[in-house]
A and B are shown apart, each in its own frame.
Chain A
Amino acid sequence: MEILNIILLVFIIICAVSVSLTKSLLTSIVIFMSQSLAMSVIWIMLESPDLAITEAAVGAGITSLLLFVTLKKIHAIDLQKKEVPGHGEDQE
Chain B
Amino acid sequence: MAKTRNDYENSWWPRFVRWLKNGSSALDDAMYGDLEEEAVLPDAPAGDAEKREAQWDERRRLLLRDEQDMYSQVHAWSRSKGAKLAQWFYRVTAVVICLGIIWMLLQTAAYLPPFGNPDNPANNEVSRRYIEQGMQETGAVNIVAGMILDYRAFDTLGESNVLFIAACSVLILLRISSEKHGGDAVAQLEAEADDRMYEPKNDLILQRIASFLVPLILLFGVYIIMNGHISPGGGFSGGAVMGAGLILYLNAFGFRKTERFFTFKTFKVVSLCALSFYAVSKAYSFFTGANHLSSFISPGTPGRLFSAGLIPYLNIAVGLVVCCTMYAFYTLFRKGDM
Residues of A within 8 A of B (CB): 49-50, 52-54, 57-58, 61-62, 65-66, 69-70, 72-73
Contact = CB atoms under 8 A, between A and B. Distances in A.
A57 B232 contact: no
Main secondary structure of the interface of A (DSSP, over half): helix
A53 B237 contact: yes
B232 A62 contact: no
Given A50-B144, A69-B330, A69-B333, A62 B247 contact: yes
20 contacts: A49-B232, A50-B232, A50-B234, A52-B232, A53-B233, A53-B241, A54-B236, A54-B237, A54-B240, A57-B241, A57-B243, A58-B237, A62-B240, A62-B326, A65-B247, A69-B330, A69-B334, A70-B333, A72-B198, A73-B333
Interface in B227-274: 232-234, 236-237, 240-241, 243-244, 247
Interface of B: 142, 144, 198, 224, 232-234, 236-237, 240-241, 243-244, 247, 326, 329-330, 333-334
A72 to B, nearest CB: 6
A69 B194 CA distance: 13
Nearest to B145: A50
B214 to A, nearest CB: 14
Contacts, number: 47
B233 A62 contact: no
A8 B142 CA distance: 27
Main secondary structure of the interface of B (DSSP, over half): helix
Those 4 A-B pairs whose CB atoms lie nearest each other, nearest first: A57-B240, A49-B232, A53-B237, A69-B333
A69 B236 CA distance: 22
Contact of B244 (A49, A52, A61): A61
Contacts of A57: 237, 240-241, 243-244
Given A53-B233, A57-B244, A66-B329, 8 more contacts: A61-B240, A62-B247, A62-B330, A65-B330, A69-B330, A70-B333, A72-B198, A72-B334
Contacts of B234: 50
A54 B330 CA distance: 18
Given A50-B232, A53-B232, A72-B198, A62 B237 contact: no
